[in-house]
Chains A and B, each alone.
Chain A
Amino acid sequence: MLKWIADVVVFKVFGLSSQTKLGDALHFFVYDTLKIFLFLAVVIFVVSFIRSYFPPERTKRILSHKRLFIGNILAALLGIVTPFCSCSAVPLFIGFVEAGVPLGVTFSFLISSPMVNEIAVVLLYSLFGWKITAIYIGAGLSVAIFGGIIIGKLGLEHWVEEYVYKIRTGQGTEVIKQSFRERLDYAKWNTKDILRRVWLFILIAIGIGGFIHGYVPEEFLTRIAGPGNPLAVPAAVVLGVPLYSNAAGVIPIVYALMEKGLSMGTVLAFMMAVTALSLPEMIILRKVLKPQMLGVFAGIMTITIIGVGYLFNAIL
């Protein structure tokens, strides 16, 4: 079906021949674009629908007074399904603290949520296959779990702004009751909303796959940042931390870097650093955390992600 549409568009509408390089490349581009967007729309819709059953209020109750380790694992997993954007980070953080969610467990949630999500999963799967996707999810969850455990063990509660502990919401926040129909509506709006924000990045990523492939000399990046250079991983992570992008935005860069011969571990570490840590999120979190806490958070994340990068470069 999709192949047929691509055939019609490229060979009939544009009148290109499948024998030419351009015709072939364009066919690949149209087919891949249709496939990825369709896949993305279906997955975002389904995930948004499931998410409507996991409001932060519910996640908070599940994580309340959970022990270290079990709590961290649960928090990292819930980070995938709980709807969350960084502008909600402050109320979410305060709500978690008030409900008695341990600090380390709260961080596991905050780390996993932006890093492992449906957009990252669909794009990685479409462009790199299931193996890389599974590795990325596993690594993302591990970073969230262990990062949270370390923060929990350090006992840094005094580096949370005092007022956070004083806020009392009384009977607690409400959850709006939604009908099945309303949940479907929300899933539809969310799908439209996300696609509107990411379509350009995805087109760029597919375009890199279809056209730029093979035009930039591979040895260039390989020489400076290939598997032979032990500093490639820390350099990629340190570069990635201040950069801010969601998973969709970083994928074209990741794709281009891989095409040019950077090793998998280095590229995945870069992607994690970009999505998990960002300056805007730090500024938002500064409202509830003291600068020392932010420093420790950034430091632990940087070290953990570098570790993951080395590990992958060693085993892949």
Chain B
Amino acid sequence: MQIKVLGPGCPNCEEMTRRVKQAVDELGIEAEIEKVTDMAEIMKHTMSTPGLVVDGKLVHAGKPLPPVEKIKSMIGG
């Protein structure tokens, strides 16, 4: 599974990455987490950061950040 966290590097994006890692750990699945900071790349998916893309599909964008439990269901646990 390929997971991308989209965001220019603000505190919210860091927090999002942390929660995604925790969700992946708790689910115990194999996933590659990539942080995308390139604006053109981010803009292909969303205007609201932080964004979460799972296997090429946008599943979350902007604030408020979803709780870890919700992220688990987003990445299909």
Contacts and interface: CB of A to CB of B under 8 A. Distances in A.
B70 A91 contact: no
Contact of B39 (A55, A91, A186, A190): A91
Contacts of B59: 176
B2 interface: no
Contacts of A60: 47
B17 interface: no
The DSSP consensus for interface residues of chain A is helix
A95 B67 contact: no
Interface in B52-72: 58-67, 70
Contacts of B31: none
A186 B44 contact: no
Given A83-B62, A85-B12, A55 B48 contact: yes
Interface residues on B, range: 20 to 34
A85 B8 CA distance: 12
Interface stretch (A24-32, A68-76, A165-173): A165-173
B47 A87 contact: no
Contact of A95 (B10, B11, B13, B47): B47
Contacts of B8: 87, 90-91, 284, 287
A57 interface: yes
A94 B45 contact: no
Interface residues on A, range: 20 to 34
B40 interface: yes
Contacts of A169: 43-44
Interface in A1-20: none
A88 interface: yes
A91 B49 contact: yes
Contact of A193 (B43, B44, B64): B64
Contacts of A190: 63-64
Contacts of A185: 70
B76 to A, nearest CB: 15
Nearest to B12: A87
B64 to A, nearest CB: 4
A185 B63 CA distance: 12
A189 interface: yes
B48 A56 contact: yes
A91 B47 contact: yes
Most buried by B among A169, A173, A284: A173
B42 interface: yes
Interface string A151-193: 0000000000000000101100110100000000110011001
A60 B7 CA distance: 19
Given A90-B8, A176-B58, A189-B64, A56 B40 contact: no
A91 B61 CA distance: 12
A50 interface: no
Given A55-B62, A88-B48, 4 more contacts: A87-B11, A88-B62, A94-B43, A169-B44
Interface of A: 48, 55-57, 60, 83, 85-88, 90-92, 94-95, 98, 167, 169-170, 173-174, 176, 185-186, 189-190, 193, 284, 287
Interface of B: 7-8, 10-13, 39-40, 42-49, 58-67, 70
The 5 tightest CB contacts between A and B, nearest first, are A87-B10, A190-B64, A95-B47, A189-B64, A56-B47
